Amino acid sequence: MTVRRFEDVEFGEEIPPLSPDFSIENVRKFGRAAEMVAPRFSDHAGARKEGLPGAIVPGVMSQAILVAMIHRWAENAQLEKIDTVFRAPVLVDHKHSISGVVTNLEPETHSVDIDLTVVNEAGETRVLGTARVKIP
């Protein structure tokens, strides 16, 4: 369901999940655009030399995908803040699911708080977060 107005939002509502494209090709494109070109993001062997299990998704890319999920659900939402905790690396070329749930509604300001998660294919939470958006 796409939300158009604050009145359409319900406490506990789950935002439709998103399965992002964290392929090496897509992460490389993002890295070039964000000027974050480093082996840890673009090359599995290079990332292993840095002590990582493989190439990782830049944190800012994970945040961008979380915000994109919110805007798919409420395209006119205005992001007021996003706070994320990176519990473990988000690995490139692995499947992940991104989801959110409405945890607070402020009718006076039309603000909506959303808990966010990035979970890998093994069911492990890699990123936790909270966003606050304003919906007209």
CATH of the domain at 116: 3.10.129.10
Domain span at residue 116 reads 6-21+57-134
pLDDT bin (cut points 50, 70, 90) of residue 120 is very high
Percentage of the chain beyond pLDDT 70 is 99
Number of domains in the chain: 1
pLDDT value at 62 more than 80: yes
Residue 1 has pLDDT above 80, yes or no: no
Burial string for 50-78 (b: 16+ CB within 10 Å, else e) reads: eebebbbbbeebbbebbbebbeebbeebe
Region 79-87: mean pLDDT is 97
Let me know if residue 45 belongs to a domain: no
In a domain, 104, yes or no: yes
Residue 29 lies in a domain: no
